[in-house]
């Protein structure tokens, strides 16, 4: 198989310049990756470009939840909840190494806008709409029950709570592994390749002009249909592809998460904190040795402006957390790290505030030869991908006479857990292999998050014992994972490795500064020079 790494780049570029692709996908976030996978699995020729790393946009900066959207019930969006819970269930099986059940506690206090009985009804309805396909049970709790579960929660005015289940994921890896699947099915991927314009013929888009941000080369990718999946940058990409031609699609908002050491906020499950002033949910989510709290939701005027966690963002999240966990005494000095992401929210003139903007998606033929998808969420990416791919298929049939088969992407597990026996088999085999090779590694635990890739990782460790070493004390990642990421997951820079292939940057107090990256042949990002 062609390598999914920089090694393939020259060959891929040469081949791509001579190919008329069925589809050229702009953006390798969860939407672009999902669409590429869906189309490649239907047997179409697909090229994907991203000006950064796979998942380097919003798709590695989310709340990392695969959820049914309990709060959509407040707005009566029952269909959306049914759809999301169905996809939560699907991903629990198709990406079982990346999607795991996560218990949530929703505490209620006197004077809450949504009283406890209503939360209980909501959670019951949530369970009903999922048709029993839930990651775990739900139950009502007395105040004493809430405090037994989470002793750090504020006691004053506590009226009880509800426990229910959604799922946690690793958003960046979900995106990357989806793209790796697309690649295995024949798609070609060009990271660090920016779309600078459109190729137009007879009033129709026929491809995109790109610039390679590693060596500065400008070249062209030709496609029967171009798919704009550039998330928060949808309008900017429209402007490049169809100058002056597409009315506004999005109103992006910023969401920030703060990471704390787990001992400073020792929650044992996710806690939903409803902010009385704006009635928004903020979550405290356990994350191994850490816990993260988020998110904020504020308008953003320019999605290309540097995306930062401001003191106001930190204050807001500390204030909320301090109210619910008064004994923790958290301050700005406790923040281990943070991330900020841009929500690609669909533009809606009528929405009053950022938090009221609908999260639903928009998929349309934005201009002749151009299909655009925006909005949605990680949870429903397979559905968005199928709908977008179906629209692209209709354009291909109408304009090019191409007969596109139906999607099978929603029935196939990701590569890492696709072999017979799935995750359970991967765990058993990896445990046996680690023991056989005498490696100081819990093979089953490695397989729990890497599926069958754990076997290749263990082989690397057996060949070079230094690769079995942990990258940082107390954290799960091993040196072999960095090597594997460069050779098989198209990691190019230290940031790719520390921020997305692993989460060392967020979780290690030294932010990965002590990790040995020598011998990994990383690429310093090319600095474009404006002539
Ligand atoms: C704070 C926050 C929390 C969230 N929490 C959740 C959650 O818990 N669960 C959930 O299901 N959803 C969640 N979401 C929603 C979800 O993360 C997003 O809907 C999803 O990641 C969007 O993916 P995308 O592919 O559309 O965009 P992106 O991931 O942003 O991908 C777009 C890509 O386009 C590329 N690009 C842009 N311009 C160009 C160009 N000119 N040339 C080439 N490439 C270009 C970018 O580099 C980027 O990689 C959250 C979102 C945010 C912001």
Q: Is 350 helix (H, G, I), strand (E, B) or coil?
A: coil
Q: How far apart are CA 203 and CA 181, in angstroms?
A: 34
Q: Which two tokens stand for residue 357?
A: 């903007």
- Judge contact between 417 and 424, C-beta under 8 A: no
Q: Is 58 helix (H, G, I), strand (E, B) or coil?
A: helix
| Ligand 1 lining (C-beta closer than 6 Å) | 26-32, 49-52, 56-59, 61-65, 67, 194-195, 229-233, 237, 255, 295, 341-344, 376-379
- Judge contact between 241 and 49, C-beta under 8 A: no
Q: How far does the centroid of ligand 1 lie from the alpha carbon of residue 57, in Å?
A: 5
Atom of ligand 1 nearest to the CA of 295: 1
> Which residue has a Cα nearest atom 52 of ligand 1?
62
> Which residue has a Cα nearest atom 50 of ligand 1?
62
pLDDT digits (tens, 9 = 90+) for 204-243: 999 999 999 999 999 999 999 999 999 999 999 999 999 8
Q: Which two tokens stand for residue 460?
A: 């690397």
> Which residue has a Cα nearest atom 2 of ligand 1?
62
Calculated CA dihedral for residues 162, 165, 170, 173, nearest 10 degrees: -160
Q: How far does the centroid of ligand 1 lie from the alpha carbon of residue 150, in Å?
A: 32
Q: Which of 28, 178, 249, 377 best tests ligand 1's pocket when mutated (most atoms within 8 Å of CB)?
A: 377
DSSP H stretches of helix in 416-512: 422-436, 443-450, 453-463, 479-488, 494-495, 504-507
Q: How far does the centroid of ligand 1 lie from the alpha carbon of residue 228, in Å?
A: 12
- pLDDT at position 349: 60
Q: Which of 438, 433, 440, 483 is nearest to 460 (CA)?
A: 483
Q: How far apart are CA 237 and CA 190, in angstroms?
A: 17
Q: Phi then psi for 195, rounded to 5 degrees?
A: -80, 120
Q: How far apart are CA 177 and CA 45, in angstroms?
A: 19
Q: For the chain, how many residues are written?
A: 531
Specify whether the backbone of 316 is left (phi greater than 0), alpha (psi in -120 to 50) or beta: alpha
Within 10 angstroms of residue 310's Cβ, the number of other Cβ atoms is 13
Q: Name residues whose C-beta falls within 8 Å of residue 360's C-beta, 6 or more positions apart in sequence.
A: 80, 346, 375, 376
Q: Phi then psi for 26, rounded to 5 degrees?
A: -100, 115
Q: Which of 506, 63, 495 is nearest to 255 (CA)?
A: 63
Q: How far does the centroid of ligand 1 lie from the alpha carbon of residue 458, in Å?
A: 32
pLDDT digits (tens, 9 = 90+) for 305-353: 989 999 999 999 999 999 999 999 999 999 999 999 999 999 866 554 4
pLDDT at 175 over 90: yes
Question: For the chain, first and last CA: distance in Å?
Answer: 39
165: β partners: 103
Q: How far apart are CA 361 and CA 152, in angstroms?
A: 38
Q: Name residues whose C-beta falls within 8 Å of residue 301's C-beta, 6 or more positions apart in sequence.
A: none
Q: Is 465 helix (H, G, I), strand (E, B) or coil?
A: helix
Q: How far does the centroid of ligand 1 lie from the alpha carbon of residue 463, in Å?
A: 38
Q: How far is CA 182 from CA 61, 87, 171, in A?
A: 22, 19, 17
pLDDT at 355 over 90: no
- pLDDT at position 440: 95
- pLDDT at position 529: 43
Q: How far apart are CA 98 and CA 170, in angstroms?
A: 6
Query: Percentage of the chain with pLDDT > 70?
Result: 96
pLDDT digits (tens, 9 = 90+) for 111-163: 998 889 999 999 999 999 999 899 999 999 999 999 999 999 999 999 999 99
pLDDT digits (tens, 9 = 90+) for 422-456: 999 999 999 999 999 999 999 999 999 999 999 99
- Judge contact between 366 and 242, C-beta under 8 A: yes
Q: How far does the centroid of ligand 1 lie from the alpha carbon of residue 32, in Å?
A: 9
Q: How far does the centroid of ligand 1 lie from the alpha carbon of residue 519, in Å?
A: 32
Q: Name residues whose C-beta falls within 8 Å of residue 294's C-beta, 6 or more positions apart in sequence.
A: 63, 255, 256, 257, 258, 282, 283, 317
- pLDDT at position 103: 98
Please state the separation of Cα 514 from the chain's center in Å.
26
> Which residue has a Cα nearest atom 21 of ligand 1?
59
- pLDDT at position 525: 54
- pLDDT at position 350: 53
pLDDT digits (tens, 9 = 90+) for 257-312: 999 999 999 999 999 999 998 899 999 999 999 999 999 999 998 888 989 999 99
- pLDDT at position 357: 44
- pLDDT at position 351: 52
- pLDDT at position 75: 84
Q: How confident is the model at residue 521 (pLDDT cuts 50, 70, 90)?
A: confident
Q: Which two tokens stand for residue 512?
A: 């990965």
pLDDT at 502 over 50: yes
Parallel, antiparallel, or unpaired: how do β-strands 281-287 and 270-274 relate? Answer: antiparallel
The dihedral sign for the CA sequence 373, 379, 381, 383:
negative
- pLDDT at position 369: 96
Within 10 angstroms of residue 424's Cβ, the number of other Cβ atoms is 12
DSSP state of 43: T
Which three-class secondary structure string do you get for 242-305?
CCCCCCCCECCEEEEEEEEEHHHCCCCCEEEEECCCCCCEEEEEEECCEEEEECCCEECCCCCC
- pLDDT at position 245: 77
Q: How confident is the model at residue 248 (pLDDT cuts 50, 70, 90)?
A: very high
Q: How confident is the model at residue 356 (pLDDT cuts 50, 70, 90)?
A: very low
pLDDT digits (tens, 9 = 90+) for 30-89: 999 999 999 999 999 999 999 999 999 999 999 999 999 888 888 888 999 999 999 999
């Amino acid at each position: 198989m062609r390598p999914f790494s920089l090694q393939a780049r020259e060959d891929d570029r040469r081949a791509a310049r001579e190919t008329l692709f069925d589809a050229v996908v702009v953006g390798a976030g969860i939407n672009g990756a999902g669409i590429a996978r869906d189309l490649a699995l239907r047997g179409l020729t697909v090229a994907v470009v991203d000006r950064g790393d796979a998942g380097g946009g919003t798709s590695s900066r989310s709340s990392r939840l695969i959820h049914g959207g309990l709060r959509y019930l407040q707005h009566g969006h029952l269909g959306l909840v049914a759809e999301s819970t169905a996809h939560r269930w699907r991903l629990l099986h198709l990406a079982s190494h990346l999607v795991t059940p996560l218990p949530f506690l929703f505490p209620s206090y006197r004077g809450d806008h949504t009283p406890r009985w209503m939360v209980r009804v909501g959670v019951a309805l949530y369970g009903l709409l999922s048709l029993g396909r839930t990651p775990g049970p739900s139950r009502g709790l007395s105040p004493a029950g809430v405090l037994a579960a989470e002793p750090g929660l504020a006691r004053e005015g506590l009226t009880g709570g509800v426990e229910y289940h959604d799922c946690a994921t690793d958003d960046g890896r979900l995106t990357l592994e989806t793209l790796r699947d697309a690649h295995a099915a024949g798609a070609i991927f060009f990271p660090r390749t920016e779309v600078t314009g459109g190729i137009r013929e007879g009033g129709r888009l026929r491809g995109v002009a790109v610039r390679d941000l590693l060596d500065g080369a400008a070249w062209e990718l030709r496609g029967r249909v171009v798919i704009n999946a550039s998330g928060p940058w949808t309008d900017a990409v429209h402007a490049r592809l169809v100058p002056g031609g597409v009315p506004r699609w999005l109103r992006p908002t910023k969401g920030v998460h703060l990471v704390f050491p787990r001992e400073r906020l020792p929650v044992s499950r996710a806690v939903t904190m409803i902010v009385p002033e704006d009635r928004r949910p903020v979550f405290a989510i356990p994350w191994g040795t850490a816990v993260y709290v988020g998110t904020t939701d504020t308008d953003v005027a320019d999605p290309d402006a540097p995306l930062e966690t401001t003191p106001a963002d930190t204050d807001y999240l500390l204030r909320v957390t301090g109210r619910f966990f008064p004994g923790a005494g958290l301050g700005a000095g406790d923040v281990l790290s943070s991330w900020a992401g841009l929500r690609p929210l669909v533009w809606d003139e009528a929405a009053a505030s950022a938090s009221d903007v609908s999260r639903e998606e928009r998929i349309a033929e934005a201009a002749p030869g151009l299909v655009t998808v925006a909005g949605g969420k990680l949870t429903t990416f397979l559905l968005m991908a199928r709908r977008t791919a179906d629209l692209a298929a209709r354009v291909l049939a109408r304009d090019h006479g191409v007969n596109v088969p139906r999607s099978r992407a929603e029935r196939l597990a990701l590569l890492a857990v696709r072999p017979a026996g799935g995750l359970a088999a991967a765990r058993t085999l990896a445990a046996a292999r680690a023991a056989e090779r005498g490696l100081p590694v819990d093979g089953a635990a490695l397989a729990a998050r890497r599926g069958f890739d754990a076997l290749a990782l263990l082989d690397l460790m057996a060949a070079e014992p230094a690769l079995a070493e942990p990258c940082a004390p107390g954290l799960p990642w091993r040196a072999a994972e960095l090597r594997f990421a460069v050779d098989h997951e198209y990691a190019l820079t230290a940031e790719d490795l520390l921020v997305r292939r692993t989460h060392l940057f967020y979780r290690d107090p030294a932010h990965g500064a002590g990790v040995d990256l020598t011998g990994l042949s990383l690429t310093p990002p090319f600095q474009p020079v404006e002539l």
